[in-house]
Structure 1
Amino acid sequence: MSRTIMLIPIGGGVGLTTISLGMVRALERQGARAGFFKPVAQLRLGDQGPERSTAIIKNATNLTPPDPLRMHYAESLISSDQRDVLLEEVVARYQQYCSQDDVVVVEGLVPTRRSPWANRANIDIAKALDAEVVFVATPGIDDAGQLRERVEIAQSNMGGSKNKQILGVIVNKVGAPVDDQGRTRPDLSEIFEGSELQTHASTDSILKAFKHAKLPLLGCIPWTYDLIAPRVQDLVEHLRASIINEGDIKDRRLRSVTFCARSVPNMISHFKPGSLLVTSADRPDVIVSACLAAMNGVEIGALLLTGGFEPDESLMDLCKPAMDGGLPVLLVETNTWQTSLNLQAFNLEVPTDDPLRIEQVQDYTASHIDEAWIESLISGSERKRKLSPPAFRYQLTELARQANKRIVLPEGTEPRTIKAAAICAERGIARCVLIGNPEEVHKIAEQQGVTLGEGVEIIDPEQVRENYIAPMVELRKHKGLTEVVAEEQLEDEVVLGTMMLAQNEVDGLVSGAVHTTAHTIRPPLQLIKTAPGSSLVSSIFFMLLPDQVLVYGDCAINPDPTAEQLADIAIQSAESALAFGIEPKVAMISYSTGTSGTGSDVDKVRKATELAKSKRPDIVIDGPLQYDAAVMENVAKKKAPDSPVAGQATVFIFPDLNTGNTTYKAVQRSADLISIGPMLQGMRKPVNDLSRGALVEDIVYTVALTAIQSKQLD
């Protein structure tokens, strides 16, 4: 039986879509099957659809919520006294699409001048769906005490404390800058200079005010500028701007706006990463200065030229290196004053097609919703939960925080690595050590707008290299290593980082953003060696499918393992899966299932299966299995009806590197899913390799994996 939670706003501008996204993510983190339902579409003035919340949920999750009823249709039923017909249709859609979910998040209507009937409709829909109610509010210009009074009035209007269906309140946009009308006005631009932007209730004051309130506080979401940074392409669409140079228009985000009306020396301090520089097209001094800043590594968001005429071609040729480096240059017909007015009208809501920003909003909001309350919503569910991708990622970061490990990143001057280190420090995932010249590291960080806080340490290799010569000679003396050769090898930061790990100065190592797998793994194999009881080093990838996480091994290290090695890889992979919350059901993959095939390749898999079972009878292992028999229940019933693994495998062991690497990349690219790894298994200390195409988030999660591995080896 589904449990239904209806989010009902107290007033307008509470960020209802944000809370809906956060609720769904918080439920997914707990392994629940979450549902979402918006009964009636509520489009903003001028919005052509589709309905924003439903579209975002469809695009950002594996959920398929029903399309909401059109507002015009709902209003026609209400105006013709057919409210019961409206409610029946709402219930019918709910039953058709949401009845199998553990918890369904229902998003209510926002009361506006165009929809004065919204409050009444919310109450009726909540009753019709037998939904429990959670109010969503924002402080606006109220202090914490006034906010609490507003919430209690809303509770009173729905039956007061006698109504046990009202569960509590989530307060959003805490600490947001607001004008004297209580409207949220993010200080995105100098446009707002002189406006009396102010904040009222703080997180601490709200927590204190609701400590003994009639309704419990279920979430308190602080305002942050990081979640409102639009892409340059969003601004292009809003302004209907012409594109002089596309650059990184799809990836760069805007965090501030500067109107370049002063002399260049008085504006240079505003040439910052993420800044939109607005200037008249007849200001060549500003254009050249902005391009010089870009060529010096400052990742300016975009250059917006006003006035409608393109700058001189020779000037653009002079600035070509900056544009080749990714600087977007835009042109609008309006003058600077009209452009400033148009910018004020820019909608900072999350676009339906911006997956990165949606992901950030979901994770941030979910992290500020009471975890114990979310757990209580699904505690009575009898459905067996799968470890969903959001639950897996959340578990990674939580376990890494608890581990509190120190991880070395030898590629300390690589921009993605620097960003990842800052994120790890900010989230408390690990204490990262960057190897590199401190001045260069700080310069690259500043150019990217990255702040390296206390959780990031920078070690200058020139200052410490000689400290590891003697220990390295001692570790490799059986190979005849001399001090001269050791000093030469320590010029390589990966070797230096490996020695730091060997000397127990750090707890793990992550590399590979600019180095090959062999370059990353060779020094640890020589200096760290394998763990006791491990005959080899292998790897796994965590494949984040829409509804669960699977483990693939070995897809990165061993080209053609023997049956004995394949058995060890299966055992290592099962243990890794279990350590990260995945129930291991190991499928030994081959081109045939059971006894149907013959040949040396399938015989190897058959022998490996028998060896693995004899070594670890406590692990559920079966093979040989074809991939479709391992993953699809209907195929499993035909090909392997008696298998304890077929149709429900969570760990897939491939017979060789060619098969494993090809399969993981085919699945990843064809299904457009995220994979985390490779994570190395069998090392005495954790070392992990990155793909050279790794994104910043890939590095962050690999650091988290490494920290958790280190904790497990303690």
Structure 2
Amino acid sequence: MARSVYLTSVGSGGGKSTVALGLAELLSRQVERIGAFRPLVSGQGPDPILALLTERYRVRLPIEELHGATYAEAAALVADGRREELISRIVARYRAVERQCPAVVVVGSDFADGDGAGPRELAFNARLATEFSSVVVPVVDGFGQAPEAIAGALRGAYHDLEDLGATVVAVVANRVPEPMTLPELPVPAYAIPEVPTVSAPTVAEVAAALGATLLAGDQAALDRDVLDYVVGAAHVPTLLEHFTDGALVITPGDRDDLLVAAGAAHVAGQVSLAGLVLTLGEQPDPRAMRLFEALNTGLAVLSVTSDSYDTVAASSRIEGRPSVANPRKVEAALGAFERCVDTVDLARRLRVSRSERVTPLMFENDLIDRARAQRRRLVLPEGTEERILRAAEVLLRRGVADLTLLGRPDEVARRTRELGIDVGDAQVVDPVTSEWRDEFAAEYAKLRAHRGVTVELAHDIVAQPNYFGSMMVQTGRADGMVSGATHTTAATIRPAFEIIRTVPGVSVASSVFFMLLADRVLVYGDCAVNPDPDAAQLADIAISSADTAARFGIEPRVAMLSYSTGDSGFGADVEKVAAATKLVRERRPELLVEGPIQYDAAIDPQVAATKLPDSPVAGRATVFIFPDLNTGNNTYKAVQRSAGAVAVGPVMQGLRRPVNDLSRGATVPDIVNTVAITAIQAAAGESE
């Protein structure tokens, strides 16, 4: 079994960060802990690729232990004729990392690093890959190259490395022009196109490189991508014709007219700029600056002392790269990798045994993979909310789902322009003006006729985003719905109860949280919906939760929780749990279930050996059913905060079609996970 994959450039550049991310993502789905290693680093501060991999994939080793030597150290050893000593030192440091990690991503030395110092030839990387027992993935930089030249470089990379004794599992051309024909080789060849969002610097990176002073703008403004540069020297009408989306406008600081014109063009939607740089150390007139700020552009304004020519020249040399500080670039890079690489086949070729333990990262990546494999359309009613829009960008880039955003198209466009994000592939529907509104009103009036709802009343109700989204799901225009970032739980799930309703045979809809602990995933139910379920409802919750666990790859072993284990206690609450357990066994005799049982006996094998030594569930439970909402909600939050667990949910269950609620404090990753879960539920529901 290969324990590591060695990524090496062929020539300078190549965009190794994107491919390193993609390979690390593949390995992180197979093992609970990966490592990262670079044979040589500059020594001038933390290595950017190592910093990215260690942070994103929670590499537990100190970053200073994840490299072999600096370029300066390597050059000195080679100059003294001690090349083998250098190789030995690098191998020894690599082995120290390998011993602590089931799999390692090695990012080889870069031909452009070190300013000519140290061994940089392809043979050096091939030798190290052999010493590490690594399989090799060479990367060719296709930026600005003709397709024929790229294909020739891929062929050369494969044959050169094979001749040097390396085991090549795939070759990758990055930043290629589209389309291009890949060469036929004994191993797969992949081409990843140039993705401006990945390679473009952010306004913050430009500001840092120029030593600029920030005159206006917040962190969101600094996170915007710089896709182009426009020098402001002409009159306003002429300059307006040259503005492009993502352009950083560079103009002398005394051109107040251009400052205001750029802000107005951006706010009006004529163009979506990246920001402005004012040169020559000149400060704009305070009156013009106040007017610019009153426009609420959301753009950064920077000030530099250099002139416009030198500023443009310096800015054009700045190249962005994915980093933990900019998750948009990370998601864009992963999206490009996953879209262009056969990840299933490449994972098989890497031949890393899958761990029996499931880490939070493995579970989250599995969600993305499964949702992408059976892509569904989901509706997000809160279409102008910032977190929803940022999550939508990630979901579309990663190919997780097709999306419908509810809201006025001009308002959604304005918000995306202000935030500097791209959700261009999403469908945008305004419930108020939609051609579906009349149809939905008639259908809702039929469903709620027993409540006296007329078509006229229904016409107003279905214009509300959550009702409109639920009607989209009901009529098949969407496969599921996710809401709740700004709406209450009641506002999200009430329309689903009224319109979509529960699965036949299930008396109550309920919810679970996936609790992502350090080494396993547990299922907690019900922690969000039912305040005090009776025995029959508790049995329904247990069965639904077991089915949800199984659907997401968790073997269900159900613990019906109580303050009593077995017959050690008594009281109405214990009797309710005992009755519910009996109902579960009668309805699903094949299901492993234990109850009443205390939490410690359910999760701790040593306690279980004392309290219920013969139970197949005690000490090994994966699904925990709480007797009431008070107990469940407090417990999941206690575990989340005290044990550092990631709580994914609440995930609704028991509805005929999936609708899931978000916490109003949900983060962008929370929303991405919930959408992926909803897509998987939708696909599973269609197959049942």
TM-score, L = length of structure 1: 0.82
Deviation of 1:532 after TM superposition, in Å, equals 0.7
Q: State which drifts further: 223-232 or 415-424.
A: 415-424
- In structure 2, the residue matched to 1:184 is none
Deviation of 1:74 after TM superposition, in Å, equals 3.8
Closer, same or farther: CA 64–398 of 1 in aligned 2, 3 Å: closer
Residues of 2 paired with 1:523 and 1:547: CA distance?
37
Deviation of 1:524 after TM superposition, in Å, equals 1.9
- In structure 1, the residue matched to 2:207 is 236
Deviation of 1:496 after TM superposition, in Å, equals 3.1
Q: Deviations over 1:354-404 (max 9, x none)?
A: 3443344345324533334433246573x6434455554454445445545
- In structure 1, the residue matched to 2:110 is 110
The answer as to whether partners of 1:28 and 1:390 remain within 8 angstroms in 2 is yes
The sequence identity of aligned pairs, in percent, is: 38
Q: Aligned to 1:684, what secondary structure does the other structure show?
A: coil
Amino acid at match of 2:48: R
Q: 2:506 aligns with which of 510, 534, 538?
A: 534
Residues of 1 paired with 2:599 and 2:259: CA distance?
57
The answer as to whether partners of 2:335 and 2:397 remain within 8 angstroms in 1 is no
Q: Aligned to 2:257, what secondary structure does the other structure show?
A: helix
Does structure 1 residue 55 correspond to structure 2 residue 51? yes
What's the Cα RMSD here? Answer: 3.8
Amino acid at match of 1:160: D
Q: Aligned to 1:204, what secondary structure does the other structure show?
A: coil
Q: State which drifts further: 393-402 or 48-57.
A: 393-402
Deviation of 1:350 after TM superposition, in Å, equals 3.1
Amino acid at match of 1:70: A
The answer as to whether partners of 1:52 and 1:352 remain within 8 angstroms in 2 is no
Q: Deviations over 1:483-525 (max 9, x none)?
A: 4433343342322333343344443333323322111211221
Closer, same or farther: CA 335–560 of 1 in aligned 2, 3 Å: farther
The answer as to whether partners of 2:126 and 2:166 remain within 8 angstroms in 1 is no
Amino acid at match of 1:681: Q
Deviation of 1:573 after TM superposition, in Å, equals 1.8
Equivalent runs, 1:208-227 vs 2, <5 Å: 210-211=183-184, 213=185, 215-227=186-198
Residues of 2 paired with 1:347 and 1:76: CA distance?
30
Does structure 1 residue 301 correspond to structure 2 residue 300? no
Residues of 2 paired with 1:420 and 1:355: CA distance?
11
Q: State which drifts further: 305-314 or 572-581.
A: 305-314
The answer as to whether partners of 1:594 and 1:623 remain within 8 angstroms in 2 is yes
Residues of 1 paired with 2:142 and 2:22: CA distance?
19
Q: 2:167 aligns with which of 142, 165, 168?
A: 165
Deviation of 1:672 after TM superposition, in Å, equals 7.3
Residues of 1 paired with 2:249 and 2:486: CA distance?
32
Closer, same or farther: CA 678–120 of 1 in aligned 2, 3 Å: same
Q: Deviations over 1:448-484 (max 9, x none)?
A: 5666657626355344433333333322222233344
- In structure 2, the residue matched to 1:137 is 140
Closer, same or farther: CA 706–238 of 1 in aligned 2, 3 Å: same
Closer, same or farther: CA 165–686 of 1 in aligned 2, 3 Å: closer
Equivalent runs, 1:181-330 vs 2, <5 Å: 202-205=178-181, 207=182, 210-211=183-184, 213=185, 215-249=186-220, 252-256=223-227, 257-268=229-240, 274-293=246-265, 300-322=273-295, 326-330=298-302
- In structure 2, the residue matched to 1:685 is 657
Q: Aligned to 2:169, what secondary structure does the other structure show?
A: strand
Equivalent runs, 1:48-87 vs 2, <5 Å: 48-64=44-60, 66-71=65-70, 72-87=72-87
The answer as to whether partners of 2:560 and 2:627 remain within 8 angstroms in 1 is yes
Deviation of 1:241 after TM superposition, in Å, equals 1.9
Q: 1:478 aligns with which of 450, 472, 485?
A: 450
- In structure 1, the residue matched to 2:550 is 578
- In structure 2, the residue matched to 1:187 is none
Residues of 2 paired with 1:608 and 1:142: CA distance?
68
Residues of 1 paired with 2:394 and 2:325: CA distance?
24
Does structure 1 residue 551 correspond to structure 2 residue 523? yes
The answer as to whether partners of 2:8 and 2:125 remain within 8 angstroms in 1 is yes
Residues of 2 paired with 1:647 and 1:250: CA distance?
51
- In structure 2, the residue matched to 1:19 is 19
Closer, same or farther: CA 330–591 of 1 in aligned 2, 3 Å: farther
Unaligned runs of 5+ in 2: none
Q: Aligned to 1:235, what secondary structure does the other structure show?
A: helix
- In structure 2, the residue matched to 1:461 is 432
Amino acid at match of 1:96: A
Residues of 1 paired with 2:33 and 2:562: CA distance?
35
Residues of 1 paired with 2:292 and 2:625: CA distance?
53
Residues of 2 paired with 1:452 and 1:67: CA distance?
37
Q: Deviations over 1:175-234 (max 9, x none)?
A: 2xxxxxxxxxxxxxxxxxxxxxxxxxx5532x2xx22x3x42343222211213444333
Amino acid at match of 2:128: I
Closer, same or farther: CA 60–592 of 1 in aligned 2, 3 Å: farther
Amino acid at match of 1:204: M
Residues of 2 paired with 1:255 and 1:684: CA distance?
45
Does structure 1 residue 8 correspond to structure 2 residue 8? yes
Deviation of 1:138 after TM superposition, in Å, equals 2.3
The answer as to whether partners of 2:34 and 2:57 remain within 8 angstroms in 1 is no
Q: Aligned to 1:219, what secondary structure does the other structure show?
A: strand
Q: Deviations over 1:625-654 (max 9, x none)?
A: 666766677777788776645665544434
Residues of 2 paired with 1:133 and 1:641: CA distance?
50
TM-score, L = length of structure 2: 0.84
Deviation of 1:706 after TM superposition, in Å, equals 2.8
Q: Deviations over 1:107-158 (max 9, x none)?
A: 2222352224544432332232233333222235654554454455455555
Deviation of 1:38 after TM superposition, in Å, equals 2.2
Q: Deviations over 1:532-558 (max 9, x none)?
A: 111111112334556654433323212
The answer as to whether partners of 2:68 and 2:93 remain within 8 angstroms in 1 is no
Residues of 2 paired with 1:167 and 1:293: CA distance?
50
Residues of 1 paired with 2:298 and 2:606: CA distance?
50
Query: How many positions carry a matched residue from both structures?
Result: 676
Does structure 1 residue 333 correspond to structure 2 residue 336? no
The answer as to whether partners of 1:35 and 1:98 remain within 8 angstroms in 2 is no
Residues of 1 paired with 2:216 and 2:313: CA distance?
24
Unaligned runs of 5+ in 1: 176-201
- In structure 2, the residue matched to 1:126 is 129
Residues of 2 paired with 1:384 and 1:399: CA distance?
18
- In structure 2, the residue matched to 1:185 is none
Q: Aligned to 1:568, what secondary structure does the other structure show?
A: helix
Amino acid at match of 2:237: P
The answer as to whether partners of 2:331 and 2:394 remain within 8 angstroms in 1 is no
Closer, same or farther: CA 639–687 of 1 in aligned 2, 3 Å: same
Residues of 1 paired with 2:103 and 2:679: CA distance?
33
Closer, same or farther: CA 568–267 of 1 in aligned 2, 3 Å: farther
The answer as to whether partners of 2:5 and 2:350 remain within 8 angstroms in 1 is no
Q: Aligned to 1:254, what secondary structure does the other structure show?
A: coil
Amino acid at match of 1:19: V
Closer, same or farther: CA 545–222 of 1 in aligned 2, 3 Å: farther
Deviation of 1:274 after TM superposition, in Å, equals 4.4
Q: State which drifts further: 19-28 or 392-401.
A: 392-401
Residues of 2 paired with 1:460 and 1:564: CA distance?
39
Q: Deviations over 1:638-694 (max 9, x none)?
A: 887766456655444344334444454565567777654322111122222233344
Deviation of 1:311 after TM superposition, in Å, equals 2.8
